[in-house]
Amino acid sequence: MSSTAKLADRLAADAVTVREEIDEIELLINQARTEASRHEARRAAAAQKLAVTTESLSKLAAGGAPGAAVREAAKELAEAAGQLVSVARRSALMEAQIDLLEGKFKTAGRLHETIVEHAARIRELADAQSVASTNADGTTDGEGALPASVSHLVLSAQEDLRREISRAMHDGPAQSLTNIVLQAQIVERLQAKDPAAAEKEVRELVAMVQRTLEATKTFIFDVRPMVLDDLGLVPTLRRACRDRGKRAGVTVDFESVGLDRRLPAQLESGLFRILDDVLAAHIAAKPETLSLHLDWGARLEIELTAGRAPASIAAPDLPPDRADLPPAIAGMVEERREAHRDAVEAARLAALAKVPDRLWKEIAGRAELLGIDAELLDEGTRLRLLVDIPAAGGKDADGPEDGRGRSLGNQSAQPSQVRPA
């Protein structure tokens, strides 16, 4: 079975899984609505009890009842008020949970439709590849042309790529070159009138050229790093860590242990794209620590980890756990404890420099096509890749030559750290 067909099968399996999750969410919504109805009934009963207790207390106070009776009625009133507040809060939380579940239900439904659509398109592409392969063997008639729908997808992807490159060139290097031309014209006009001012403008022109050169190099590296073809994966990743970390002001610790070696070109490109995309996603989250570790053993083991300390949440000033409190007060104290625990957990989750779910799905698909074992661990903050290293031999294994017959591959990589300047 081809890799495209496997991807189509995996998407179909994902669609089934999402459908099951949708059914489970729908069941939870129905259960939550039933529980909300019960809370509403309890709230109405508590409100009725509060009204009756209030009326009774008013009558006792107006009729000059003994102080003990009034105090007992006041105690009942406080308990009724506490019960009403507690039930009302639980009812509000249940309504909020229902809203959250309904939002997840709609989102999962849209995701299911998208997966089914992509699975159908990839299945068409797999069938087209099968037809093209059969024609190449000469077992069927025809020229092995792709179906019109698949050709349209391929052309659309090519045009999208051209559009993105054109926009990036227009907004980056092309705009900078325009500014350089204008600056050069200013220098030319000042040369005869004011040589001192022209000298200052020349220095500014040189600085503009240097900045444009750096921006152009960065653009070329992002599109397709030439160092990947020339020197291999480790130098390319080291530079990516250094440059991305420097631009974002984030420290990136890079370490490569063992004897690194050249991999097949497609595998090197795929590994770099996976790690560079995850690195960019982590850096965008501004983590406090970010490290990329490569271990060249029997298999290449790669780990990319991001970390950040959660915000400190001050603990509320509450009575001890086993303090003897009236039921209403005890319920309010427990609710405040639960709110504090929820706030601490929310701060912990907000501090996670996680890989976005959509990016992880794309990476998992790429890794499967390349035969890479990929895991997302520690709640999405640590990416782990295991890569089978092909046996040495051939140009891809030994690396490119330097023009004089000497190989540039198989260089020992010492542990290193890449930090922003």
Q: Is it true that domain 3-136 has CATH number 1.10.260?
A: no
CA distance 129 to 141: 15
| pLDDT, mean of residues 298-304 | 93
Please name the amino acid found at residue 17: T
pTM as predicted: 0.48
The domain limits of the chain are 3-136, 148-222, 224-308+352-421, 315-348
- Residue 410: the pLDDT is 40
Rg (CA), the chain: 33
**pLDDT value for 404:** 35
> Among 346, 372, 188, 209, which Cα is nearest to 278's?
372
The two three-digit tokens of residue 316, written as one number: 């509320």
- The span from the CA of 259 to the CA of 398, in Å, is 12
Sheet holding 373-377, edge to edge: 253-257, 289-296, 299-307, 382-388, 373-377
**116-130, 259-273, 297-311, 394-408: which is most confident:** 259-273
- Which residues 6+ apart lie within 8 Å of 218 measured at CB? 243
Evaluate whether 62 touches 107 at the Cβ level (below 8 Å): no
The one-letter amino acid at 181: V
Report the 10 Å Cβ neighbour count for 36.
Answer: 18
104 vs 167, residue with greater confidence: 104
Query: How far apart, in whole angstroms, are the C-alpha atoms of residue 155 and residue 169?
Result: 21
Comparing CA positions, the residue from 93, 47, 80, 88 lying closest to residue 326 is 80
Task: Provide the terminal-to-terminal Cα distance of the chain, rounded to the nearest Å.
Answer: 49
Query: SS3 letters for the chain?
Result: CCHHHHHHHHHHHHHHHHHHHHHHHHHHHHHHHHHHHHHHHHHHHHHHHHHHHHHHHHHHHHCCCCHHHHHHHHHHHHHHHHHHHHHHHHHHHHHHHHHHHHHHHHHHHHHHHHHHHHHHHHHHHHHHHHHHHHHHHCCCCCCCCCCHHHHHHHHHHHHHHHHHHHHHHHHHHHHHHHHHHHHHHHHHHHHHHCHHHHHHHHHHHHHHHHHHHHHHHHHHHHHCCHHHHHCCHHHHHHHHHHHHHHHHCCCEEEEEECECCCCCHHHHHHHHHHHHHHHHHHHHCCCCEEEEEEEECCEEEEEEEEECCCCCCCCCCCCCCCCCCCHHHHHHHHHHHHHHHHHHHHHHHHHCCCCCHHHHHHHHHHHHHHCCEEEEEHHHCEEEEEEECCCCCHHHHHCCECCCCCECCCCECCCCCECCC
In the prediction, which pLDDT does 413 show? Answer: 38
Q: Give whole-number Cα distances, 117 to 114, 131, 251, in Å.
A: 5, 21, 41
**Measured on CA atoms in the order 205, 209, 214, 218, is the torsion positive or negative?**
positive
Q: pLDDT category, 157, cuts 50, 70, 90?
A: low
Note whether 3-136 and 224-308+352-421 share their fold. no
| Statement: residue 168 has pLDDT above 80 | no
Question: 408 pLDDT exceeds 50?
Answer: no
Mean pLDDT of 294-315: 84
Return the minimum-mean-pLDDT range out of 133-137, 288-292, 335-339. 133-137
Give yes or no for residue 415 having a pLDDT over 70: no
* Highest mean pLDDT: which range of 1-10, 123-132, 147-156, 201-210: 201-210
Confidence of residue 155 (pLDDT cuts 50, 70, 90): low
Task: Tell me the β-bridge partners of 375.
Answer: 384
pLDDT digits 0-9 by tens, 229-276: 888 899 999 999 998 888 888 889 999 999 888 899 889 989 999 999
Distance CA 326, CA 50 (A): 17
**What pLDDT, on a 0 to 100 scale, did the predictor assign at position 335?**
80
Mean pLDDT of the chain: 76
Residue 94: which residues within 8 A CB-CB, separation 6 or more? 32, 35, 36, 39
> How many Å apart are CA 221 and CA 105, to the nearest integer?
41
Phi first, then psi, for residue 5 (nearest 5°) are -65, -40
Neighbours of 326 (CB within 10 A): 12
Q: What tokens were used for 104?
A: 């997840």
User: CA torsion angle for 226, 230, 232, 237 (degrees, to 10)?
Assistant: -40
pLDDT interval class at 148 (50, 70, 90): low
- Residue 18 CA: distances (Å) to CA of 26, 32, 377: 12, 21, 21
Kindly indicate the confidence band of residue 130, based on its pLDDT and cuts at 50, 70 and 90. Answer: low
Does residue 302 have a pLDDT over 50? yes
Q: 241 near 280, Cβ under 8 Å?
A: no
* Third-level CATH fold of 224-308+352-421: Heat Shock Protein 90 (3.30.565)
In the predicted structure, residue 406 carries a pLDDT above the cut 60: no
Q: What is the percent of the chain with per-residue pLDDT over 90, rounded to a whole number?
A: 11
Mind listing the pLDDT tens digit for each residue in 181-229? 777 777 777 777 777 787 787 888 788 787 777 777 777 767 778 888 8
